[in-house]
């Protein structure tokens, strides 16, 4: 199983946590793990490996370690630890608040400063589309095209969602999983490593686990 760290960013009250909450609650799979008291949320996504040769598609399980800001973003007080080794970032804005996209842009900038990894996947998400239905278009303050253009210019994935009714949520995480899987596959092809034997890369010192990963992490030991 492949494991990736995903961080959430965006202004307070744009619905970062609701998106994750919706994703975790709506997901059903046998790898569902306990989240209570966990340092971060863990959730798996199953994707199909699109084989270039048209061979039979294989199922791949991707596990996200989702780090919430825990409110530390409010006064720009996120610790370096938060960004470290992040593989993906979900940058959220609220389509009913024009300035929240501006804030999202500054978070993208912050990310690019803090995370050196060029392969970091950034997904820009416009939340709360349930508030701007056909009957109530006035509430929308950020046009989809504006955000989309910005995302394309900056190499970000983009979509609009509703954490409230679940619209588009699963797809966000699936896309991130697919993109990350793709990147990992290419890296491993370059380095000539089998994608499934990715437990310890490089020959550095071995990490010591302070607690046997009991219920939380039965897989990380010998995967």
Partner 1 sequence: MLSPERRTSMAERRPSFANFSGNSNHIDTLMVPHLAGIEDPLPETTPEKVDVLIAGTGLVESVLAAALAWQGSTVLHVDTNDYYGDSAATLTVDQIKNWVNRVNNNDIISYNNAKLYLSTSIGPSCKYMSKDFGIDLSPKILFAKSDLLSILVKSRVHQYLEFQSLSTFHTYENDSFEKLTNTKQDIFTDQNLSLMTKRNLMKFLKFVLNWEEMPEIWQPYADKSITQFLFEKFKLEKPQVFELVFSIGLCCSVDTKVPLALHRIRRYLISYDVYGPFPVLYSKYGGAGEVSQGFCRSAAVAGATYKLNEKLYSYNPTTQVATFTDGSKVTVTEKIIMSPTQAPEGNQHIPDQKYEVNRMVCLVEKDCKEWFSEDESAAVVVFPPGSLKSGNKHVVQTLILGAGSECCPQNTSIWYLSTIESGVRAEMDLDAALEALEVSIVRESSSDITDNNDIVKIDEDGRPIINSVRLGQSFKEYIPRESVQHLMKLSYTQYTSTPPFDVVNPALFDNDELNNRANSVNKFIPNASDNGIIYTAMPSSEISYDEVVTAAKVLYEKIVGSDDDFFDVDFEDEDNDTVPQGASVNGTISYENAIDDDDDEDVDMGIRGDDSNEFVGQMEI
- Residues of this chain that interact with partner 1 (CB under 8 A) are 12-13, 16-17, 20-21, 34-41, 68-72, 74-77, 79-82, 84, 199-200, 203-216, 220-222
Beta carbon of residue 138, minimum distance to partner 1 (angstroms, whole number): 24
Judged by beta carbon, residue 163 or residue 180, the one nearer partner 1 is 163
Nearer to partner 1, 71 or 189 (CB): 71
Report the residue number, 13 or 106, with the smaller CB distance to partner 1. 13
CA distance 90 to 141: 20
**Which is closer to partner 1, CB of 40 or CB of 150?**
40
**Cα separation of 158 and 95, whole Å?**
13
Looking at beta carbons only, is 35 or 171 nearer to partner 1?
35
Place of tokens 């780090």: 67
Joined tokens for residue 33? 């793990």
Min. distance of Cβ 22 from partner 1 in angstroms?
Answer: 11
Least Å distance, CB 223 to partner 1, is 10
Radius of gyration from C-alpha coordinates of the chain: 18
Only one residue has tokens 């992040």, namely 86
> Contact 193/140 with Cβ under 8 angstroms?
no
Give which of 141, 140, 133, 131 is closest to 163, Cα–Cα.
131
Residues 6+ apart with CB under 8 A from 27: 43, 44, 45, 170
The residue among 37 and 54 lying less far from partner 1, judged by its C-beta, is 37
User: Alpha carbon of 216 to those of 159, 219, 220: distances in Å?
Assistant: 31, 9, 9
Q: Which two tokens stand for residue 20?
A: 């994750």
């Amino acid at each position: 199983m492949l494991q990736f760290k995903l961080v959430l960013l965006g202004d307070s009250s744009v619905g970062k946590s609701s998106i994750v909450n919706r994703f975790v609650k709506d997901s059903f799979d046998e790898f569902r793990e306990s989240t209570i008291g966990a340092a971060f949320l863990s959730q798996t996504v199953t994707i199909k490996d699109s084989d270039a040769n048209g061979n039979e598609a294989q199922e791949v399980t991707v596990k996200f370690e989702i780090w919430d800001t825990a409110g530390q973003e409010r006064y720009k007080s996120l610790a370096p630890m938060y960004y470290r080794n992040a593989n993906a970032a979900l940058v959220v804005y609220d389509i009913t608040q024009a300035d929240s996209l501006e804030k999202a842009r500054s978070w993208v900038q912050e990310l690019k400063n803090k995370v050196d990894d060029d392969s970091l996947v950034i997904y820009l998400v416009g939340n709360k589309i349930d508030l701007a239905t056909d009957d109530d278009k006035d509430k929308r303050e950020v046009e989809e095209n504006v955000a989309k253009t910005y995302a394309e210019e900056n190499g970000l994935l983009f979509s609009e969602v509703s954490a409230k009714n679940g619209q588009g949520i699963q797809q966000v995480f699936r896309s991130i999983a697919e993109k990350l899987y793709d990147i990992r596959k290419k890296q491993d092809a370059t380095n000539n490593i089998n994608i499934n034997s990715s437990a310890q890369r490089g020959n550095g010192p071995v990490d010591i686990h302070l607690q046997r990963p009991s219920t939380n992490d039965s897989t990380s030991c010998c995967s």
